[in-house]
Structure 1
Amino acid sequence: MEDELIDSASLSLSRKSQLPGTGFFYPDSLDEDRAEERVAEAVDGAEAVVVADTDADGLGCVALLREMYDATIKWATFAEDVQARVDRWERDSPADDEDRDVDEDEADAPRSTVALVGAGPYSLDEALENVAAHAPAGIDLYVCDLCPDEYAWIEEELAAVSEVADSIAWYDHHQWSEATAARVREAGVDLVVGESDEECSTDVTLRSLDYDFDERWTELAAVTRDHDLWQKEDPRSDDLADYAYWTDPEEYVAVVGAFGVDLPPVVEQYIELRRVEKSELIEAAVSRAELKQIGPWTVGVTYGRCSQNEVAEALREKGADGAVVVKPAGSASIRGSEGFERAHEVAGRVNGGGHPRAAGCKPDIYDDMLDYAHHWTTQGATAKRVILRAFEDVASEVAADDEASETEADDDAAGDE
């Protein structure tokens, strides 16, 4: 297959909005091999390893740990590359940085003695397995901004990495089941879980580490929290979130480690250039949206490669209590509001999980590439239908619970007469 067919940088905005990024078309086996190679390189000679989500919140935790270990990579290492990307975007012929492959000389880039191993909720087991296989004995292991849906998913991998690590600490703010949290702690892990509607994982890490951080780190946690909890009171939080999404995790950690929330001018310039396309992709997704009435909730549902939080905010302005953004890669983001705080319950019925107002899932509906082709050409019709059915199930449960409560109240009132 010709490279041009999967090169996102060469697509029109309309097509780019409807198709997944270049990385989607790499086989999982190739991704797994590359992931293991990268972990092996990253942890070589490390004194500590951080397995973290690679959004701004997870990477904020990594920056804190590198500060504590005096292991931050210098910003100068990345400054020239950022300027080169700015130059490309200013020439109106940008590479698709979001999908860019690993540079051939990446192995020669400076590495921190606090190794970063990026992971998501569905790759946490693989990340722990790779750390167990390649990290030197005696490391301190940290897991940040990640929550396993079930302990069974990571049981063997956590046991294996426990044989390698001298200590394991886990800092998070997602919705943990009591059973999973108990099993993780029984495995010898120092698990700290913050209130998901009050703290981000950077907050949890900051207050949990035995180190005297200066004020700029408190500010970093506060600004990270502003976006991660969708408080939207500090405009700088969008800068952090966008930059973490668009750049290499190591670069982001180095920049906030050096500058905190006051990003250098060249980084701010890069963010502004990329936001032009971001806004257009948001507009495309919003224009496709439909509003559905499900039980007591108005649900906005759309499809597209876009920034889901901004799309969800636009749908709320149109009257939606909840929002569903189905992505070309097959996953979906579910967002709530004051009127809908059951996003994690909906996602839990469709192979996902998360917070009451922010959750994600990937319906188990893709058996082969024909299913994906149907997904792209119908703008996620099957995924939308499955997720909306999950909304209906949750609405039915809520109605049944309300009815049972009313009946119980009536019975109590009758008994008092």
Structure 2
Amino acid sequence: MEDELIDSSRLSLPRKSVLPGAGFFYPDSFDEERAEERSKAKLEGADVAIVTDTDADGLGCVALIREMYDAALDVADFEERIAERLADDDEEEEEDVDADDEEERTYPPVALVGSSPYSLEDDLLRVAEYAPEGIDVYVCDLCPDKYEYVEEELEALAEMAGEIHWYDHHQWKPEVAEQVRAAGVDLVVGESDEECSTDVTLRELDYEFDGHFTELAAVTRDHDLWLNEDPRSKDLADYAYWTSKEEYVAIVGAYGADLPAVVEEYIAERRIEKEALIEAAVSRADFKSIGEWTVGITYGRCSQNEVADALREEGADAAVIVKPAGSASIRGSEDFERCHEVADLVNGGGHPKAAGCKPDIYDDMLDYAHHWTTEGATTKRVILNAFERVAEIPAEDDESETEE
């Protein structure tokens, strides 16, 4: 297949809106090989390892931990690279290149292992296999749906690691939390509707942080909990999504939530296309009445947060944004706080007001071709069916949630 066929920069905006980025077309084996090589290189000489989600909340935790260990990377190097990107009119899309390639050659002593709910077990095992004996490990902003998903990997890690700290704020099932703690892990789960994982990390680390880190946690929380009271939180979320992990950690570690001018310029430039993709997704939304709720559902490559806001403004109690890669984001409101219940029925999970999923319905590339050409018709139907099932059962009891 010719490279040009998956090069997003060559697509018109309407086509870009309905197709996934180039990374989607790389086989998992290719990504796994690269992840294996990078993890080994980063971990073999590390003093500390952090396995974390790579959104602004997870990376905020990394900035705090690196500050405590005096392991922050030189921010001036990253600012220079950002300026070079701005000056390059032919810059490729961030999603089509891996900006960590060059940066991670520095291999800081506090190693950042980017993870996700779908790769958590693999990343825990990589730390167990490649990190030095006795290394301290932090797991941040991640929550396994079942203990058996991470059982063998976590037990292997516990045998070789020093201390294992796990800081999170998602909805943990009590039995999963109990089993993780029984494996020797210091698990701290914050109140999911009051704290983000950066908040939890900030208060649990035995270190006196400067004020800009406290403010970073507050602004990260503003976005992660859908408060949307501080305009800077949108900047943090966008920047974490568009740039490399190491760059984001270095910049917010140095500046907190008040990003430097060169970063603000970079964000503004990227937002031109972002806004057009949001508009395209909102324009194709449908609204369905399910039980006592109005569910707005749409499809497209876009920023799910802003699209969900727009659908709520148009009367939706819950918003579903189906992505070209097959996953979907589910967002709630004051009138719908059961997103995690819906996601749990379609191979996902999350919070009462924000969750994600990827229905297990894609058997081959023909299924994906149908997905793109019908703008996610099957995925939409599966998720709406899950809403209908949730509407038939009482809301989850608060006692089912794990407390710290």
Counterpart of 1:164 in structure 2: which amino acid?
A: M
- Distance in structure 1 (CA, Å) of the matches to 2:321 and 2:38: 31
Pairing of 1:168-183 with structure 2 (within 5 A): 168-183=164-179
Separation of aligned partners in 2, 1:379 and 1:391: 19
Specify the alignment match of 1:407 in structure 2: none
In the alignment, does 2:242 pair up with 1:246? yes
Deviations 1:332-389 (A, max 9, x none): 0000001101000000000000000000000000000000000000000000000000
CA distance in 2, matches of 1:104, 1:295: 49
2:201 corresponds to: 205
With normalisation by structure 1, the TM-score equals 0.93
State whether structure 2 residue 59 is matched by structure 1 residue 63.
Answer: no
The yes-or-no answer on 1:389 pairing with 2:385 is yes
Deviation at 1:133, TM superposition (A): 1.1
Cα distance in 2, alignment partners of residues 264 and 50 from structure 1: 26
The sequence identity of aligned pairs, in percent, is 70
Match of 1:193 in 2: 189
Deviating beyond 4 angstroms after TM superposition, the runs of 4 or more aligned structure 1 residues are 102-107
1:138, 1:103 → 2: CA distance?
Answer: 27
What amino acid sits opposite 1:281 in the alignment?
Answer: L
- Matched with 2:376 is 380
Residue from 94, 97, 101 that aligns with 1:100: 97
Structure 1 gaps of 5+ residues are 402-417
Matches within 5 A, 1:294-333: 294-333=290-329
Quote the Cα distance in structure 2 between the aligned partners of 1:175 and 1:359: 10
Q: CA deviation at 1:49?
A: 0.3
Report the 3-state secondary structure (helix = DSSP H, G, I; strand = E; otherwise coil) of the residue aligned with 1:51: strand
Secondary structure at the aligned position of 1:337 is classed as: coil
Counterpart residue type for residue 34 of structure 2: R
| 3-state SS in 1 of match to 2:108 | coil
Q: Is the 8 A contact 1:64 1:217 kept in 2?
A: yes
1:23 aligns with 2:23: yes
Partner of residue 401, structure 2:
none
Cα gap change, 1:104/1:342 in structure 2, threshold over 3 Å: closer, same or farther?
closer
Task: Give the distance between the partners of 1:374 and 1:181, measured in 2 at CA.
Answer: 39
Q: Is the CA contact 2:23–2:95 (under 8 Å) kept in the aligned structure 1?
A: no
Q: Is the 8 A contact 1:282 1:306 kept in 2?
A: yes
Amino acid at match of 2:40: A
Aligned partner of 1:405 in structure 2 is none
8 A Cα contact 1:73 1:111, kept in partner: no
Provide the C-alpha distance between the structure 2 equivalents of 1:230 and 1:105, rounded to a whole number of angstroms: 34
Report the CA distance between 1:102 and its aligned residue: 5.5
Give the drift of 1:42. Answer: 1.4
- CA 1:69–1:375 in structure 2 vs 1: closer, same or farther (change >3 Å)? same
> 1: CA distance between counterparts of 2:102 and 2:312?
45
- Distance in 2 of aligned mates of 1:158 and 1:104: 28
Q: Secondary structure at the match of 2:206?
A: coil
How far did residue 280 of structure 1 move?
Answer: 0.5
Is the contact made by 1:298 and 1:320 (CA closer than 8 Å) also made in structure 2? Answer: yes
For residues 26 and 102 of structure 1, the distance between their equivalents in structure 2, rounded to whole angstroms, comes to 17
Q: Which amino acid aligns with 2:121?
A: D
Residue of structure 1 aligned with 2:153, choices 157, 160, 179: 157
* Partner Cα separation in structure 2 for residue 388 and residue 300 of structure 1: 10
Structure 2 counterpart of 1:288? 284
Matched, 1:79 2:79: yes
Superposed displacement of residue 204, structure 1: 0.2
Which one has a bigger Cα radius of gyration? Answer: 1
Residue 44 of structure 1: CA displacement?
A: 2.4
**Closer, same or farther in 2 for the Cα pair 1:207/1:338, shift >3 Å?**
same
- 8 Å CA contact 1:216, 1:260 repeated in 2: yes
Aligned-partner Cα distance in 2 for 1:44–1:187 = 24
Equivalent position to 1:259, from 237, 255, 260 = 255
Q: What SS class does the counterpart of residue 199 from structure 1 fall into?
A: coil
Correspondence for 1:272:
268
Amino acid at match of 1:182: E
Cα drift, residue 299 of structure 1:
0.2
Find the partner of 1:223 among 219, 226, 244.
219
SS at match of 2:392: helix
**What CA distance in whole angstroms lies between the structure 2 residues aligned with 1:172 and 1:393?**
28
Q: How many residues align?
A: 397
| Whole-angstrom distance in 1 between the partners of 2:267 and 2:117 | 27
Rounded Cα–Cα distance in structure 2 between residues aligned with 1:221 and 1:102:
25
1:247-275 superposed Cα distances (whole Å, 9 cap, x missing partner): 00000000011111121111110000001
The answer to whether the 8 Å contact 2:98/2:244 transfers is no
CA distance in 2, matches of 1:120, 1:71: 23
Tell me how far apart the structure 1 counterparts of residues 188 and 157 of structure 2 sit (CA, whole Å): 19
Return the alpha-carbon distance in structure 2 between the equivalents of residues 220 and 102 of structure 1: 23
Listed as ranges, the matches of 1:27-38 within 5 Å are: 27-38=27-38
Question: Deviations 1:119-146 (Å, cap 9, x if unpaired)?
Answer: 0011100100111111111111000000
Distance change (3 Å), C-alpha of 1:327 and 1:212: same
1:141 equivalent to 2:141? Answer no
Corresponding position of 2:2:
2
- SS of the equivalent of 1:163 reads helix
Q: Residues of 1 paired with 2:360 and 2:325: CA distance?
A: 12
- Give secondary structure in 1 for the equivalent of 2:118: coil
C-alpha deviation, 1:396, in angstroms: 1.4
Closer, same or farther: CA 181–300 of 1 in aligned 2, 3 Å = same
Q: Tell me, yes or no, if the aligned pair for 1:9 and 1:94 is still in contact at 8 Å.
A: no
For residue 104 of structure 1, report the CA deviation from its aligned partner.
6.3
